[in-house]
Amino acid sequence: MKLYYSTGACSLSPHIVLHEAGLAYEPVLASTKTHQLPDGTDFYSINPLGYVPVLELDDGTRLREGPAIVQYLADQAPQKNLAPANGTLARYRLQEWLTFIGTEIHKTFSPLFAPATPEDYKPQLKEYLLARLQWVDGELAGKPYLMGEQFSVADAYLFTVTNWAQYVGLDISPLKNLVAYRERVAARPAVQTAMKVEGLLK
């Protein structure tokens, strides 16, 4: 398998899951600025949409979109319990979290990185993000991970997108449960390995 990723982007989520699952893969850096791979290949020939992540299977099949990719990876290593079994209510709870993180948090962060976003619009975005993260903070009360005792692919995704707070000037330090949760996830060996591969940790 190959994972096309950009450093620190949402592709860090499947990167973490690959290491949590113990699956063999080849990381391929895909610049979101030049849209070129290290060997000069046009990334648009891999993903016409031009963004990461993309997971390429051994038969050449390509899967886009982080929430789909992480569930596929979890199902390749069911013994790791990174996602509940298909068809169970717990699996739909996982999908509920992945959808919420993608639509309510990930997509609200995105304009804060876009040069074309008007400066006077950014405080509104940050206010919306904080409100959503305050709700997440409440949901984390008394449990180590989003789904309870077990680390899941949703945790890889939430950790990845909340990493971006530091780059856009969003202060999440008052959210004590979320801060403690982020420290817990960051300490996981698979998370540290994925971040080292991407150059985010020395």
Can you list the positions of beta strands (E) in 6-139? 26-29, 54-56, 62-64
Count Cβ atoms below 10 Å from residue 193 Cβ, excluding itself.
Answer: 16
* CATH fold label, 2-81+190-197: Glutaredoxin (3.40.30)
**pLDDT the model gives residue 111:** 96
Enumerate the CATH 1.20.1050.10 domain ranges in the chain, comma separated.
89-188
- Beta-bridged to residue 5, according to DSSP, are 29
Count Cβ atoms below 10 Å from residue 134 Cβ, excluding itself.
Answer: 15
Q: What is the mean pLDDT of the chain?
A: 97
Backbone angles phi, psi at 8, to 5 degrees: 75, 0
User: 9-66, pLDDT tens digit by residue?
Assistant: 999 999 999 999 999 999 999 988 899 999 999 999 999 999 999 999 999 999 999 9
User: 160-198, pLDDT tens digit by residue?
Assistant: 999 999 999 999 999 999 999 999 999 999 999 999 999
What H or E segment, with its residue span, contains residue 2?
A: strand 2-5
Using a pLDDT cut of 90, give the percent of the chain over it. 98
Can you list the positions of beta strands (E) in 19-76? 26-29, 54-56, 62-64
Domain over 89-188 is classified CATH 1.20.1050.10:
yes
Question: How far is residue 156's CA from residue 124's CA, in Å, rounded to a whole number?
Answer: 26
Enumerate the CATH 3.40.30.10 domain ranges in the chain, comma separated.
2-81+190-197
